[in-house]
Structure 1
């Protein structure tokens, strides 16, 4: 990310808070008194905003952040807390999805600490950490929104906080929202609920934040590490994992729909390529849009000893090589020809893998997700219009991009050795691959043996 924030750059980031205003003590309120008259507002914008601007540029574009911080008593040191969190987020500049997860949880902690406790995050104790975990399970109603909202709105060159944004969201299930939209029915906001996985994420990320502060020699402890009954928040789920997958009928409609869209409008050649690429190689979205230190190019496809591979830098900046299906090459050739390129990549080719329709490189993961969602929606409409039963297409209403990875691996598992599928999925442990994709095969194996006799 741009800016290379340091723990000591607070005056540069917030010149309005420099000098005596940063350090002036106030006796108007006792330390630790809640600020319940102040509502939560967003502090940290998108991954792109962090990546493309320095700390001072970011603050200048969003003067509301400075104004908001001034609302809190100087004894809280809100300005310093803000800089700590910004530095923490900047240290996680690898991928957009990781940034979003860390931003969400630590921003909630920051706002809760200032508003509910009237304290700096560096002053929180074990009991505060436990109270925050409980708050995340049952947040105040005015902290909960009914939709995912843009954090800041641009007007006249300045980014202002979106008044409809809330730190927490309570959304109906995707399929429920789609059915309501199809029938033009308004939905009531569902009761807020947090999953066990999300609870563990809150605990892990907040604990990681304090570990970062300690490593930066900030005088604080780790209140989350001090929690005694950790099992209440970080209990392990069952090993059994049920992946979300499309049926073969649904997948046939999805890929056929993408092909029809591409045949009808050349701009959808990219849509077809994205769909086929994610599916054919069990890829995550970051594998085709890239991360901070790696961007995929056509040169990411390499041919070694007559076999094509896709070279990717994935989770944890680990480099890997994924095998390429022969059948997939037809989609690669089609897309490249649509971009006036040779049918297959040349060694070391630097052409961006994905580009905007105007030819500019740099699609975001959100953009790619929207492209895939359009295909899912069109496939759903085709299934409905062709008279398919609702139970044949209902799950398609819930489908997301990540289902493609699970669907493809599920389809391929009966025909591939487990260790080969594990390698292409880039699972660290064989047990992960087995638990997710080979459990059904175990059932078939048991069934095939159950009725065999020991003697006639």
Structure 2
């Protein structure tokens, strides 16, 4: 697993699934993972679909806790995690009740678990362990590939959201940073980590670079992969506004090392959690304004579920209507063009179908 440590999400998946396999092997089968056979492998895949209740806990529960300055095993941790949605947490806070916990554990994709286990046994073989791969003898699992629907805001919701972000910035200069974050995530299809940075990289004002007539934003993204993103002309006024609030020149200069985001006290760099906390009031204000102006209840309620990642999806969904899919793929940082097409261009198909709902008679 150490070979995947540079990619936190991949490392987390591998660790979680292999940990689950090892525990299941000892506790349920009474044997080492080195002694599993095909029937055991099939039983393990089936086990992931319906684990016992005492193997299920809160998804956010950490494996270890700090105790007297040392790491101690957290007895509340479980191999399967259930999630409390953001909307459920918000409702619980508003009504001063406990949030509703989903009864369905996040078991993970059967295909992904299968692939991880196969990879684990292949590693053992390559490392000189004389062992048969019990998962390899199972016919490769193929799951139905469904069209993915991006979690994105409607045009109306986005208008309210950016409107409230601008109003907050007008009311208090400290929210110029808030407005910049909201528009940057939307306009450049950024992940939160693209603004928060990583262990080996932190974004600066110099990450914006002018090349010819165009502006680009350079990031070290998911999987520590470098990519450059085209910057919309319409985004530049927001960049200027933000920089001027920091008493900087209107536009960045080559090699500028000013941190892209800083705390209100001037400390460079802020975490993803801090970014989420900074933007949450914008979602709350937009929802309150929509309710006050009598907008549809379902559109108001949906803003309780919105996360910052929706802004990335929203920007890409809006732009898919008039951008080449390859160009959109490169700015999003997707490995595969089919990923971009499946997620964002399916929306265009829905609009195409909606435009063809006229009556057959009396057109």
Q: Same fold (TM over 0.5)?
A: yes
Secondary structure at the aligned position of 1:427 is classed as coil
CA distance in 2 between partners of 1:219 and 1:189 (Å): 44
Distance change in 2, residues 1:347/1:393 (3 Å): same
Q: How does the TM-score come out when normalised to structure 1?
A: 0.69
Contact 1:93 1:292 in 2 (8 A): no
State the Cα deviation string for residues 397-437 of structure 1 (Å, max 9, x = none). Answer: 22222211111111122232333323322334444333332
Q: Which ranges in structure 2 are unaligned for 5 or more consecutive residues?
A: 359-363
Partner of 1:322: 229
1:302 Cα shift? Answer: 0.9
Tell me which of 118, 132, 144 is aligned to 1:236: 144
Q: From the CA coordinates, give the structure whose radius of gyration is larger.
A: 1
Distance in 2 (CA, whole Å) between partners of 1:109 and 1:266 is 52
Q: Secondary structure at the match of 1:436?
A: helix
Q: Deviations over 1:244-265 (max 9, x none)?
A: 1111121122222333344444
Q: Report 1:77-88 matches (<5 A).
A: 88=1
User: In the alignment, is the contact (CA less than 8 A) between 1:94 and 1:293 conserved in 2?
Assistant: no
Name 2:301's counterpart in structure 1. Answer: 394
Matched, 1:368 2:282: no
Q: Name the counterpart of 2:113.
A: 202
Q: Mean alpha-carbon deviation: is it higher for 273-282 or for 157-166?
A: 157-166
SS in 2 for 1:91: helix
8 Å CA contact 1:96, 1:291 repeated in 2: no
Whether the aligned pair in 2 keeps the contact of 1:133 and 1:203 (CA below 8 Å) is yes
Q: Structure 2: how far apart are the matches of 1:381 and 1:151?
A: 38
Kindly report which structure 2 residues correspond to 1:279-294, keeping only aligned pairs within 5 A, or say none: 279-294=186-201
User: Can you list the C-alpha shifts for 1:209-268, whole angstroms capped at 9, x where unaligned?
Assistant: 333333333444433333x2443xx42322x22211111121122222333344444444
Q: How does 1:51-450 map to 2 (within 5 A)?
A: 88=1, 90-146=2-58, 148-186=60-98, 189-194=101-106, 198-226=109-137, 228-231=138-141, 234-238=142-146, 240-442=147-349, 444=351
State how far apart, in whole Å, the 2-side matches of 1:429 and 1:319 are: 16
Match of 1:55 in 2: none
TM-score normalised by structure 2 residue count: 0.84
Q: Which runs of 4+ in 1 moved over 6 A?
A: 446-451
Q: Unpaired segments of 5 or more residues in structure 1? A: 1-87, 452-456
Q: Which one has more relative contact order, counting CA pairs under 8 Å at least 6 apart?
A: 2
**Which region of structure 1 is more displaced relative to structure 2, 241-250 or 121-130?**
121-130
In 1, Cα distance between equivalents of 2:127 and 2:243: 48
Distance across 2 between alignment mates of 1:388 and 1:442: 27
CA distance, structure 1, for counterparts of residue 300 and residue 103 of structure 2: 27
Instruction: Give the secondary structure class of the aligned counterpart of 1:320.
Output: strand
CA pair 325-187 structure 1, distance change in 2 beyond 3 A: closer
CA contact (8 A) 1:95 1:292 kept: no
Query: Quick one: distance in 1 between partners of 2:48 and 2:271?
Result: 29
SS where residue 414 of structure 1 aligns?
coil
Q: How many residues align?
A: 360
Counterpart Cα distance in 2 of 1:107 and 1:215: 20
Partners of 2:46 and 2:78 in 1: CA distance: 18
* Aligned alpha-carbon RMSD (Å): 3.2
